[in-house]
Structure 1
Amino acid sequence: MTELSKITGSNEPSAETLLQWDREHQIHPWAAMDDWRDYDNMLIDTADGIYMWDAQGKRYIDGPAGMWCTQIGYGRRDMAEAIAAQVMKLPYTSPFTNVTEPSAVLAKKIADMAPGDLNNVFFTTGGSTAVDTALRTMMYYNNRRGLPEKKMILAREKGYHGSTYLAHSVTGKERDKSHFDFESRLVHFLPDVNPYRRAAGQSVEAFCDEKVADLENAIAEIGADRIGAFIAEPILSSGGVIVPAPGYHKRTWEICKANDILYISDEVVTGFGRLGHWFASEEVFGIQPDMITCAKGLTSGYLPLGACIIADHVLEAMSHLGEPSSYTNGYTYSGHPVSCVAALKNIEIFEDEGILEHVRSVSPHFQKRLAELVKYDIVGDVRGMGLLGCIEGKAEDLEAERTLGNKIDAACEARGLIVRPLINMAVFSPPLIITIEQIDEMFDIIEDALQEVEAELKA
């Protein structure tokens, strides 16, 4: 009998029963509403290290690391023990009036890791609420400064920032917006920054100039006095692991500084080791944002937690103005002590096991194996950085191209690897503990899958 069966007092349901209950009662993120009762999601039973096992006992490499987040891998008993101990000591207290040791220690840890004067941490429930907090903070900041018209948000096509209303509104993935309302009056989208989409014969340097000019033109058109923030992922992860041209980030950050526009770096995916550093903004791209949002790898997915990290100069500008005002933004589970303990144990594991150094050590091999995939005819582009990768497929027939991501995913799944399909793309971001041998295992499967799909399309 499983622990869950002991708790519920019922016999352990079969896999078929669980899938039936799932179809009948659970709505999954991004469920296909035309047939959501007619298909089965994969029923995952157990996991350990970089592997997961389904209800039939088949093993898979977890290529997406859950949802870009299981950095330290599965089955960490030390993590379970830390969580259990905090549950028994203090599972919850109101963050509106109380402080706990875990939240105070974690806030100090994050402030020490973050670049520049980003010394102030507001804890949220995940990435979407961290982004909402950053955007609401910008609005509060400009209201307090007597600039109520300075509220427009610049964002980028293909960017993804979450599912809450404001985060959804600044998301630039058109597929994610179908049939949901969003706030268009506050947002201006800059064109796609993917170098793969540059004009024929255009150099990457010229493309970068064009993308920087897109920002400058938007500021000239809208007016710097009306623009409050520019929000940008260092790498547009859900948009297809888009790595902007070299120099783009620093040039756009400098333009924002010159025009009194807050720069929000959305590091929900790139933060906590994905590129071999706690944060990528300064270490990889040479910028010190005004705010950084993070989640996912903060706890390695063991418990939900997010954070918005705010610079001293932003806090100072909206404080001590002679008029009382409360920062009326918060969540019941802000600074949840058990989630904060999970994050602290996660950071301890990173430090004790040298995980950041490990990522920097194995990433060149990961990126080498990824780069070699361009030899297949159905591969139009490969791109990535650190332990992030994307295969963008191509086909002569547009309809065939649209299904390439799913075809690659299905072929990989049959061989024991999960990747994440996105239209004609397959993306992956394995747990950071992956070894060189496991990287080879993963890419050997991908190569077999590509050969199968390519042969199918040529048949």
Structure 2
Amino acid sequence: MKEKNLPYTKPNIDWSEIEKWDRKYYLHNTQAQNEYVFFPVEAVDKNYLYLPDGKKLLDFQSQLVSDNMGHRNQRVHNEIKIAMERYGHIFFGLSSDYRAKAAKLLINDIIGHEKWAGRVRILSSGTEAVENAMSMARLYRGTSTILTQELSYHGLVPGATQLDGYRGNLTKNISLNESLDVPGFPDKRYVNIPAPEYSDFINKSILPSLKETERIINNIGPKNVAGIITETMIGGASYMPHSDYLRGIHNICKKYNILWILDDVLCGFGRLGEWFSYQIEENIFPDLLIIGKGLNGCALPVGAIITSLEVGEFFDKARWWSGSTHDAHPLVCASIVGNIESMMENDIINKSKSNGRYLLEKLLKLKDNHPCIGRISGRGMYYSLDLVDLNGDPIIKDDRKTRFTGNLSNNPNNVFANFCIENGLFAGGFMPNTIKAAPPLTISINEIDFAIDIMDKAFDFIEKKFH
């Protein structure tokens, strides 16, 4: 029986026992065991997280900028249930109707009119898609060097971490004051290019980052470069690049016959007000498009790679010895079908644009009232707000160059997030000085207003502590 005001049947769970097991047996990441904070979530529904004590939190960052269609989206869940009546697991050498339908929706229905996309490969995560895209670029071009942006983020498994523009895979034990890389980093096959300039950079000619990228290509030799991997909102801090940047990278890749690999795991599926982030500019298309969480709103683990016609044709003519157990799992493909059809039926792309304009207006008003807010960057339903001291400098220095070290209670992001949680809002970010505003695309205007009111108070709290 459902309790009053709960959208689920409350389970009979001894959460104190669960905490003991969680602390004793699970290997936690991003926190040392002695600082681990147990944060139980009993259920999720629509745009909310429900805690065992009866509190509900409005999710204003879509957890990991991932749950684009809210939590437990009914259309997605129904499609999974229907698929479960016929399917468990079938491996990638066998075909399911859901795999074919998901591929058709992506290649034909969403971007078919653009006439650039050839094939799609459905995988188990965005990071797995990144790894496969690196192999595809190298096989296609017959060389190994990949250019990757400073400050970028492409995942936390070994291969993808080589691409990350900020370093440090382990905050050293005991003191937690030193950040270390896994031995063997960086791999010489990955070469950094400059991070793009911010959207408010005043530019009178070619962007300096693009000039330097071209210089690096010529220094290495274009024939030795397999591809350039970029993301549109840059790195864990997530900022919007200058409007000349995407087209500039596209043009450089065409000039030197290098593959443009666009990591759209965070920005795809309506997050920036378009199906995919390259569409914010006209008539530019990637050679490999990496997608992930937004494919099914994170209902199940998923990632994918969309190829250009040329790259797809190259692999069509070969035997590509690549695969993993869960490639194009039928239940995952069912969730993709349910999610994309739900997005189309509910006009989510246009809703992201209109609600995004409203959200930006509210965020700019917050900035006017709070000296702790520096630059606001973003588009659609994805914004980052930089936290600054009274001099306009980052509260935590060099936070975009490495992982956070030191006492987590001094992390401004944590301070902000904890205040919000106490007041019914799940909000924060991934870097010490950066707050994300990236709610589910299904959020209402009233829910945006509620979040802005809590954030207003949270910024007051930040100023009292750090100013």
Q: TM-score range by the shorter chain?
A: 0.7 to 0.9
- Alpha-carbon shift at residue 290 of structure 1 (Å): 0.3
Contact 1:116 1:288 in 2 (8 A): no
Query: For the residues of structure 1 that align with 2:155 and 2:204, how far apart are their CA atoms?
Result: 31
- Alpha-carbon shift at residue 108 of structure 1 (Å): 1.2
- Alpha-carbon shift at residue 13 of structure 1 (Å): 3.8
Structure 1, 365-374 or 283-292: larger mean CA deviation: 283-292
Query: For the residues of structure 2 that align with 1:65 and 1:141, how far apart are their CA atoms?
Result: 36
CA RMSD of aligned residues (A): 2.3
Quote the residue 2:22 is aligned against. Answer: 22
The TM-score, its normalising length taken from structure 2, stands at 0.86
What pairs up with 1:260-339 in 2 under 5 angstroms? 260-284=257-281, 286-317=283-314, 320=317, 325-339=318-332
- Alpha-carbon shift at residue 286 of structure 1 (Å): 4.4
Report whether the alignment pairs 1:130 with 2:129: yes
Query: For the residues of structure 2 that align with 1:330 and 1:451, how far apart are their CA atoms?
Result: 51
What pairs up with 1:393-412 in 2 under 5 angstroms? 393-395=387-389, 401=396, 403-412=411-420
Query: For the residues of structure 2 that align with 1:426 and 1:433, how far apart are their CA atoms?
Result: 20
Report whether the alignment pairs 1:438 with 2:447: yes
Quote the residue 1:99 is aligned against. Answer: 95
Quote the residue 2:209 is aligned against. Answer: 211
Residues 116 and 173 of structure 1, relative CA distance in 2, 3 Å threshold? farther
Residues 409 and 327 of structure 1, relative CA distance in 2, 3 Å threshold? same
- 1:167 equivalent among 150, 160, 165: 160
Report whether the alignment pairs 1:356 with 2:349: yes
Structure 1, 400-409 or 343-352: larger mean CA deviation: 400-409
- Alpha-carbon shift at residue 319 of structure 1 (Å): 5.5
Q: Which amino acid aligns with 2:57?
A: Y
- Alpha-carbon shift at residue 285 of structure 1 (Å): 6.0
What pairs up with 1:341-420 in 2 under 5 angstroms? 341-375=334-368, 376-395=370-389, 401=396, 403-420=411-428
Contact 2:147 2:227 in 1 (8 A): yes
Report whether the alignment pairs 1:61 with 2:58: yes
- Alpha-carbon shift at residue 297 of structure 1 (Å): 0.9
- Alpha-carbon shift at residue 18 of structure 1 (Å): 1.3
- 1:230 equivalent among 217, 221, 228: 228
Residues 408 and 175 of structure 1, relative CA distance in 2, 3 Å threshold? farther
Quote the residue 2:5 is aligned against. Answer: none
Residues 285 and 446 of structure 1, relative CA distance in 2, 3 Å threshold? farther
Report whether the alignment pairs 1:255 with 2:248: no
Structure 1, 280-289 or 423-432: larger mean CA deviation: 280-289
| Structure 1 or 2: more helix by fraction | 1
Equivalent residue of 1:44, what SS? coil
Query: For the residues of structure 1 that align with 2:264 and 2:71, how far apart are their CA atoms?
Result: 22
Cα deviations across residues 213-248 of structure 1 (Å, max 9, x unaligned)? 121111121111111100001212x43121110111
Contact 2:394 2:433 in 1 (8 A): no
Query: For the residues of structure 2 that align with 1:206 and 1:372, how far apart are their CA atoms?
Result: 30
Residues 449 and 371 of structure 1, relative CA distance in 2, 3 Å threshold? same
Residues 450 and 283 of structure 1, relative CA distance in 2, 3 Å threshold? closer
Gaps of 5+ in 2: 3-10, 171-179, 398-410
Equivalent residue of 2:43, what SS? strand
Q: Which amino acid aligns with 2:418?
A: A
Cα deviations across residues 68-98 of structure 1 (Å, max 9, x unaligned)? 1211112333332221221120111111x21
- Alpha-carbon shift at residue 42 of structure 1 (Å): 1.4
Query: For the residues of structure 2 that align with 1:243 and 1:210, how far apart are their CA atoms?
Result: 16
Runs of 4+ aligned residues of structure 1 deviating over 4 Å after TM superposition are 283-286, 396-400
Query: For the residues of structure 2 that align with 1:77 and 1:117, how far apart are their CA atoms?
Result: 32
Residue-pair matches, total: 430
Q: Which amino acid aligns with 1:110?
A: L
Query: For the residues of structure 2 that align with 1:399 and 1:339, how far apart are their CA atoms?
Result: 41
Cα deviations across residues 91-125 of structure 1 (Å, max 9, x unaligned)? 11111x21110001111111122344212011110
Quote the residue 1:185 is aligned against. Answer: 188
Residues 240 and 208 of structure 1, relative CA distance in 2, 3 Å threshold? farther
Cα deviations across residues 130-168 of structure 1 (Å, max 9, x unaligned)? 11111100111123xxxxxx3211111111111233211
Structure 1, 187-196 or 329-338: larger mean CA deviation: 187-196
Contact 2:196 2:245 in 1 (8 A): no
